Structure 1
Amino acid sequence: MEISFIHCADLHLDSPMVGLKNLPVTLHTKLKESTFTAFKKVIDTAISKKVDFMIIAGDIYDGEDRSIKAQIRFRDEMLRLEEKQIEVYLVHGNHDHLNGSWVQIELPPNVHVFPSMVSVKQFVKNNLSVNLYGFSYETRHVKERKIDEYARRDPAHFHIGILHGNLEGSTEHSSYAPFQVKDLLAKKMDYWALGHIHKRGILESIPPIVYPGNIQGRHKKETAIKGCYYVELREGDASLEFIPTSVVIWEIVKIDASTVKTFNDLYMLCRKQIDEIGDGKSSFIITLEIEQLRIEESFLESDLLEILQQDEVDADSFVWVSSIKLQENTVWLKENLLRESAFYEELFAVTKDSELLNEAVAPLFQHPKVHRFLEELTAEEKKELAEEAEDLLLTMLVKSGR
């Protein structure tokens, strides 16, 4: 007995891709279309591999309003699968929960959507049967341990759990539908199809407990190649193949500038790194982290950034530098300022004050129309905001002549 399927999650179709400055129109269009293009690659793989079915483990859409454009594009891909007699089993997650407000586009009959209660749906092909278990988020914030409601129901040749949730103790994402690995193992499933965490990871091999990650990175924190898994499941055995789907790849590139003596040297070194990244096939959006820079020439990161961005105008494949960080310079400057005066120690302490951070973002979370689109900040996100605030403060001090 053997079955094959595609496991994907966190499509975030029609994600707005905000926060990029000076991006040319052609490049921005490609980035805006990237989630749809990546999903088409997923469907192409399902068809070419002739899978039995597909699993989508939550967050098909980027927001609870589910834009009509995103729904129609999703339906069109489902129709392609229907033509090939491929079934789809999906759950909705915290971003596209069931209580959102949207104009609903009807999906074809090959698409099976799990309700808000943990339920079982059965796939049958010839003499083979598969029980799939899952639930869709009824509201944006599901904090309870929904894993406790999963229960294997025999008879079936294979049992697959679908869960959009967070591993307890992880701080990268909001702690929704929390679970521990031992909880999943206790349910005696043959495969766990997880969603919610955008970083790919296999928590266990026997049975496979898998986060496929999202199919397309949406910002600088979602680095590396994204994709889905093609799975072949046999009795007591499973094989997994990662399928890359990224249209645009986000990367952090570190540059050792210890030998640089002039601005031109620095530019040429950056240019060389950028050229080595580009492969003529994929597009990249990168953050340059320049270390060990010790030149006397005075310049701002914005000058170097503008020059490097002017070089990239190819819409087919590009390497776009979104930002530059002078790592060593900021460390050196901060240390000198702290030695100079206790005032700067108090100033930098402000950037790490969690109460001030909560006060600063409170108007957004309390706004009657905006708050429903926001998720609470994780510990990781608060740490990153503090680091960005400190970087901004140092940049302002550099510009002021400190």
Structure 2
Amino acid sequence: MKFVHAADLHIDSPLRGLTRYEGAPVERARRATREAFERVVALCLTEQAQFLVLAGDVFDGDWKDIGTGLYFVSQLARLRETACRVLLLRGNHDFELTKQLTYAEHVFEFGAAGSKRGKYTHLFEAEGVAFHGVSYAQKKVDKSLLPLYAPPVAGLLNVGVLHTNATGSRDHAAYAPCTVSELVAHGYDYWALGHVHSHAVLHEDPWVVYPGNTQGRSVREVGPKGCVLVESSGDRALDVRFMPTDTMRYFVEEVLLGPEDDTADLYEKVRHRLDDVVARAENSLAAVRLEIKGSCRAHAAIVAERESILGQIRADTIDRGGDVWLEKVKLSTSPAASIEALRAAKGLVAELLTWTDRLRGEDADTERLGLLRALEPLKKKLGRELEELEIVVEDEAWFAGVLDRAEALLAERLTSGAND
């Protein structure tokens, strides 16, 4: 007997943090949660699983329209091809929504806590299995639902389906709290959990398993996402395998630049890192957050031409053909020559950096007025060209940014001879 255990599909949930830019694969991202569920259904058909267990949060809250619900029903209808039945439990995100749908006879929904309607246990004696589950009656469930779960049925494989934070994960609300030891003590052979979005095997013999969500939804949910395929033999021993279903996979990657690296080296290292990410994405669209770090010669150009460099990185990514989406690029470099070391040294650079210190110090207002007076002759010579630079010395944030760029350029341009 085989069954597929999935949870936290969050169908049509918007994927967060994805920057839209020209050439970005927006449509692929928009469809990612649906395509992940389609892979779950395809796995059931390919493996000829007798059951699909959905352990809560099929949906993500209110629908924009009924289309989301109808899509779900249409996918469940595909499972009739192999007579695969569906065990459906409502979680905190969809405790009301699934009640708006009418299901076919091959879909068995678990009753909600406190409700007189619906069953907590569904028996399938021909296949030798009993499924036990309690759906949420409201969004917030602060108490354990375990007291509502029936004792195991003798002679059958007993599968408990529960939407819970059994690990005390801080990333998820502490709904339907329980412990792994409590689950183990209940006497079931397999606990099909939902709610926590990371795949985890919390216990074996009996099995206590989170499949994780079927599709990552933000950069906080990195790595492969999917479901679990469970196969039992005659002696009720279980084979449990994680099966990826995500069509878009999140990565957080670091690109480290060395002291001699310039912008050409930066672009080359980014390309190599993205090649590596694509190989690890296993034919999924890779959504990548890049952080470029290190003390390097490229820093001065990064400070002076930040938007241009970001644009070039994105252009190079688009040229790859759509296998990568840059969720964000963080430029966190520093000068190859330490600003603090240059301040402590003697010479022209240290003198100039002392001047920038004064513009940040206690007498900054006086120093800035002096700077404005010093710029007057330049204003007269350049006229409108200088006005177009939008110099706003009184703006603290603007001025701090200018000083940072000036220091980086000083450190790079006036010490570059030592690096050549």
| TM-score strictly above 0.5 | yes
- Report the counterpart of residue 257 of structure 2 in structure 1: 257
Q: Decide whether the 8 Å contact of 2:157 with 2:236 is kept in 1.
A: no
Please state if 1:112 is matched with 2:111.
Answer: no
**Aligned-partner residue type, residue 325 of structure 1:** K
**Aligned-partner residue type, residue 136 of structure 1:** S
- After superposition, what is the alpha-carbon deviation per residue over 1:197-239, rounded to whole angstroms, capped at 9, x for unaligned? 1111000011110000011111111111111111012335211
Cα distance change, pair 39–314 in 1 and its aligned pair in 2 (3 A): farther
- Report the counterpart of residue 297 of structure 1 in structure 2: 300
Superposed displacement of residue 139, structure 1: 1.4
Distance in 2, Cα, partners of 1:90 & 1:176: 18
Cα distance change, pair 133–302 in 1 and its aligned pair in 2 (3 A): farther
Cα distance change, pair 273–59 in 1 and its aligned pair in 2 (3 A): same
TM-score, normalising length from structure 1? 0.77
SS at match of 1:293: strand
Superposed displacement of residue 153, structure 1: 4.2
- Report the counterpart of residue 288 of structure 1 in structure 2: 290
Cα-Cα RMSD: 3.0
- Report the counterpart of residue 366 of structure 2 in structure 1: none
Distance in 2, Cα, partners of 1:163 & 1:333: 56
Distance in 1, Cα, partners of 2:398 & 2:66: 43
Please state if 1:227 is matched with 2:230.
Answer: no
- After superposition, what is the alpha-carbon deviation per residue over 1:56-80, rounded to whole angstroms, capped at 9, x for unaligned? 0000011144742221111111111
Moved more, 245-254 or 130-139: 130-139
TM-score, normalising length from structure 2? 0.73
Q: Decide whether the 8 Å contact of 2:158 with 2:188 is kept in 1.
A: yes
Moved more, 54-63 or 136-145: 136-145
Instruction: State, as a whole percentage, how many aligned pairs show the same letter.
Output: 29
- After superposition, what is the alpha-carbon deviation per residue over 1:87-114, rounded to whole angstroms, capped at 9, x for unaligned? 100111111112x5x8933221111111
- Report the counterpart of residue 330 of structure 2 in structure 1: 325
Q: Decide whether the 8 Å contact of 2:262 with 2:296 is kept in 1.
A: no
- After superposition, what is the alpha-carbon deviation per residue over 1:258-305, rounded to whole angstroms, capped at 9, x for unaligned? 254322221221122113322483210111122323335242554433
Distance in 2, Cα, partners of 1:33 & 1:76: 16
**Aligned-partner residue type, residue 114 of structure 1:** F
- Report the counterpart of residue 384 of structure 1 in structure 2: none
Distance in 2, Cα, partners of 1:160 & 1:397: 64
User: Structure 2 unaligned runs (5+)?
Assistant: 344-356, 362-396, 405-420
Distance in 2, Cα, partners of 1:197 & 1:267: 37
Distance in 2, Cα, partners of 1:137 & 1:396: 52
- Report the counterpart of residue 194 of structure 1 in structure 2: 193
Distance in 2, Cα, partners of 1:194 & 1:45: 19
- Report the counterpart of residue 94 of structure 2 in structure 1: 96
SS at match of 2:272: helix
Cα distance change, pair 258–97 in 1 and its aligned pair in 2 (3 A): same
Q: Decide whether the 8 Å contact of 1:7 with 1:56 is kept in 2.
A: yes
Distance in 2, Cα, partners of 1:211 & 1:67: 30
Distance in 2, Cα, partners of 1:137 & 1:251: 33
- After superposition, what is the alpha-carbon deviation per residue over 1:147-196, rounded to whole angstroms, capped at 9, x for unaligned? 23323143441111111110253212111111111110110000000001
Please state if 1:308 is matched with 2:341.
Answer: no
Superposed displacement of residue 25, structure 1: 6.6
Cα distance change, pair 251–88 in 1 and its aligned pair in 2 (3 A): same
**Aligned-partner residue type, residue 262 of structure 1:** D
Distance in 2, Cα, partners of 1:130 & 1:333: 69
- Report the counterpart of residue 21 of structure 1 in structure 2: 19
Please state if 1:81 is matched with 2:47.
Answer: no
Superposed displacement of residue 18, structure 1: 3.5
Distance in 2, Cα, partners of 1:55 & 1:177: 19
Distance in 2, Cα, partners of 1:326 & 1:148: 52
